[in-house]
Amino acid sequence: MTLPDAFAAAATDTDPGMDAGSGAAQEVLRRVFGYDSFRGDQREIVEHVVAGGDALVLMPTGGGKSLCYQVPALVRPGVGVVISPLIALMQNQVDALSALGVRAGFLNSTQFPDERRAVEAQFVAGELDLLYLAPERLRLESTAQLFDRGKVGLFAIDEAHCVSQWGHDFRPDYLALSMLHERWPDVPRIALTATATAKTSDEIVQRLDLGNARRFVASFDRPNIQYRIEPKNKPDRQLLDFIRTEHAGDAGIVYCLSRNSVEKTAAFLTENGVSAVPYHAGLDNRTRAENQTRFLREDGLIVVATIAFGMGIDKPDVRFVAHLDLPKSVEGYYQETGRAGRDGQPSTAWMVYGLNDVVQQRKMIDSSEGDAAHRRQLQLHLDAMLALCETVSCRRVQLLNYFGQHEQQPCGNCDTCLNPAESWDGTVPAQKLLSTVLRLKRERGQSFGAGHIVDILLGKKNPKVLQHDHHELKVFGIGTDLRDIEWRGVVRQLLAGGLLAVHGDYGVLTLTDASNEVLFEGRQVLLRRERERPTKPARAAKAGKAAAAAEMAPADVPVFEKLREWRAATSKEQGVPAYVVFHDATLREIAARKPTSLAELGTVTGVGENKLAKYGEGVLEVLGAE
Ligand code: ADP
Ligand code: ZN
């Protein structure tokens, strides 16, 4: 009998009441995962599911969702079936569970039929604790028959927001999930997501028929992530500076909008001595899989990617997420930045953003497929994202408010808190700009993009201006009190605030109702002052490798480094990511406590029974050699 089997037996031999479930759950947590206590709502969730209840769990990335279904799967009789869209990561999830001594398998389209048959046989024989399943397999009648031949202990629906059309990860296959409840009404279901808007969670409840499920909503704050948004000048240079000064040697994810800029940015970083690999849908499958595996396994590698990358990436020590282009929604931004710092250590969410982002996104919305209502929805998403970029108050407060969490206190760990943004009265410049747009339209019947409007304001007699006789306009040269970059900032902020609109392929500027309030009704315009070079927040230096080391007593640092070397060798030998062997936090605790026996080592957080048996001697040897 394997380890988890013993717990399943322990749980079912006694009365399946709450207490038995709770005791068994605690025992699994300690012996299998090596953790002393549940975090936040985990205990309640686990007990609820162990007792057979349905649950909807809204918890931020890094909050500890996996344990919420893994522990009940081990405690309840039968196999925990996990529906997950993350096919490319199933092998990793199974590896990580195997390292803990948990019997896990997966079924998806990447397997050969004989591999699949072997997993199915294990399932039917009750030789699995957890089975990961791609959602499209639910369409197959053979899958339903398989479930009937074996015993399902629970259904976990991971990334449950994929059922929502409001969100940005909609998967039609997820709609088929409602049949789980219809066909196996007695099997408890637990749906989990890190996407938090009320709209999304209502949709999950409705579409998955979870009306009677208990809802668990955790705080969506990620206090260890520092949020920063800076004006975009030379994005590649800015990124390199940011990495060199704050995250040298750290693992990170850089998001770009296009494949082309992914390739260019990855090449630029590599040329400058920063190890980075590209990831986007245009790469062949092998290269993509290889780059993802390298990112998961190596210490300190950077992945430059389109948003195709990252869902379900559970690498705990991603120290920064950088955006070189504006995400399409706050949901997207929150989810992508949330991939930083799952281990709770200081991390940075850094973004550069400029006028072109607004123009480009607007263009994409105009040319997007779908009806007016759909475009309106995209525009609402963009507006919320722009408001976050332009806010002069705490970014975290605004982010949490967006998700319906009414936080008031400034966080002290975002750029606007650390370096309060100055605002200035931009009413006059706004009027100058808007009246230029208005005159062109009224007097000439023309519309132009931001660059040309700014040239007119600055009184530049360039070929385009001369060609159109725009130097004869009354507004020509009325804006020489601001520089080009400042004018672009004005345009950007007016766009973000809805005081100006941008349209079409050429990104032409047009007035809105609100523009008229500024022009004719004395509406005041407060703008955020642009900093040429944003000063680095004082606490930013805390993030990064140096910081992780700084939290340790100096004498422990060499021990920690030795342990890391041992871990690198061990993980390489076994072909698994370093964090599957032990997390940094575990190595740090070992370095600090320097246990001298297996029993003592077993009390360190993150050292479960299986890992103790597998790695205990090795770790003691490293310590003994000190
Ligand atoms: P999520 O899926 O919500 O993003 P994970 O399940 O990956 O989060 O958990 C995040 C990290 O926290 C993991 O490294 C996990 O091992 C750790 N963790 C989760 N629960 C606990 C706990 N009760 N005690 C200690 N560490 C935990
Ligand atoms: Zn703040």
| Closest ligand by atom to 315 CA | 1
Task: Report the amino acid identity of residue 158.
Answer: D
| d(CA 399, ligand 2 centre) in Å | 10
In a domain, 365, yes or no: no
At 35-52, the pLDDT tens digits run 999 998 999 999 999 999
Residue from 74, 79, 77 nearest 147 by CA: 79
In a domain, 469, yes or no: yes
| Closest ligand by atom to 345 CA | 1
- Residue corresponding to tokens 């005041």: 524
Based on the fold, state whether residues 96 and 37 are members of the same structural domain. yes
> 10 Å Cβ neighbour count for 346?
21
Cβ of residue 39 lying under 6 Å from some atom of ligand 1: yes
Say if CB 352 and CB 284 are below 8 A apart: no
Cβ of residue 66 lying under 6 Å from some atom of ligand 1: yes
pLDDT at 14: 38
Tell me the residues surrounding ligand 2 (ion) with CB < 5 Å.
394, 396, 410-411, 414, 417
For the residues 336-355, what does the mean pLDDT come to? Answer: 93
| Closest ligand by atom to 411 CA | 2
Cβ of residue 342 lying under 6 Å from some atom of ligand 1: yes
| d(CA 356, ligand 2 centre) in Å | 26
In a domain, 73, yes or no: yes
Q: What is the CATH number of the domain that holds 513?
A: 1.10.10.10
Based on the fold, state whether residues 324 and 464 are members of the same structural domain. no
Residue from 273, 381, 270 nearest 331 by CA: 381
* Among the ranges given (45-54, 84-93, 419-428, 559-568), the one the predictor scored with the smallest mean pLDDT: 84-93
> How large a percentage of the chain has pLDDT more than 70?
92
In a domain, 444, yes or no: yes
Based on the fold, state whether residues 396 and 497 are members of the same structural domain. no
Based on the fold, state whether residues 284 and 414 are members of the same structural domain. yes
More confident position, 16 or 383: 383
* Among the ranges given (172-181, 388-397, 565-574), the one the predictor scored with the smallest mean pLDDT: 172-181
For the residues 486-506, what does the mean pLDDT come to? Answer: 87
pLDDT at 21: 58
In a domain, 517, yes or no: yes
Handedness of CA 313, 29, 135, 181 (dihedral sign): negative
In a domain, 383, yes or no: no
Q: Give every CB contact of residue 211 below 8 A, 6+ residues apart in sequence.
A: 205
Based on the fold, state whether residues 32 and 162 are members of the same structural domain. yes
Based on the fold, state whether residues 287 and 404 are members of the same structural domain. yes
Q: What DSSP assignment string belongs to 121-181?
A: HHHHTT--SEEEE-GGGGGSHHHHHHHHHS-EEEEEETTGGGG-SSSS---GGGGGGHHHH
Q: What is the CATH number of the domain that holds 177?
A: 3.40.50.300
Q: Reply yes or no on whether the pLDDT at 472 is more than 90.
A: yes
Cβ of residue 282 lying under 6 Å from some atom of ligand 1: no
| d(CA 408, ligand 2 centre) in Å | 10
Residue 72, phi then psi, degrees to nearest 5: -60, -35
Number of domains the chain contains: 4
Cβ of residue 254 lying under 6 Å from some atom of ligand 1: no
pLDDT at 10: 41
Q: Reply yes or no on whether the pLDDT at 268 is more than 90.
A: yes
Mean pLDDT of the chain: 88
| Closest ligand by atom to 36 CA | 1
Cβ of residue 353 lying under 6 Å from some atom of ligand 1: no
| d(CA 57, ligand 1 centre) in Å | 14
R_g (Cα) of the chain, nearest Å: 27
Q: Reply yes or no on whether the pLDDT at 175 is more than 50.
A: yes
CA distance 101 to 90: 16
CA distance 260 to 240: 18
| Closest ligand by atom to 396 CA | 2
Cβ of residue 42 lying under 6 Å from some atom of ligand 1: yes
The residue out of 217, 244, 260 marking a domain boundary is 217
Strands (E), 266-417: 276-279, 302-305, 318-323, 347-353
Residue from 90, 220, 79, 204 nearest 151 by CA: 79
In a domain, 614, yes or no: yes
| d(CA 39, ligand 1 centre) in Å | 8
Ligand 1 atom closest to residue 38's alpha carbon, by position in its atom list: 23
Cβ of residue 314 lying under 6 Å from some atom of ligand 1: yes
Cβ of residue 608 lying under 6 Å from some atom of ligand 1: no
pLDDT at 18: 44
At 279-291, the pLDDT tens digits run 999 999 999 989 9
| d(CA 575, ligand 2 centre) in Å | 41
> 10 Å Cβ neighbour count for 140?
11
Paired tokens of 426: 């931009």
Angle at 105 between CA 142 and CA 181, to 5 degrees: 50
Handedness of CA 36, 40, 41, 42 (dihedral sign): negative
CA distance 317 to 107: 28
Based on the fold, state whether residues 156 and 22 are members of the same structural domain. yes
Number of H helices, E strands in the chain: 28, 17
Range of the domain at 306: 225-353+391-418
Q: How confident is the model at residue 1 (pLDDT cuts 50, 70, 90)?
A: very low
Rounded to whole angstroms, the maximal C-alpha distance in the chain is 91
More confident position, 496 or 271: 271
Ligand 1 atom closest to residue 579's alpha carbon, by position in its atom list: 14
Global pTM reads: 0.80
For the residues 341-364, what does the mean pLDDT come to? Answer: 91
> 10 Å Cβ neighbour count for 409?
9
From first CA to last CA, the distance across the chain in angstroms is 38
pLDDT at 171: 81
Run of H or E residues at 573 = helix 557-574
Cβ of residue 59 lying under 6 Å from some atom of ligand 1: yes
Cβ of residue 577 lying under 6 Å from some atom of ligand 1: no
CA distance 610 to 68: 20
* Residues making up the chain, counted from first to last: 626
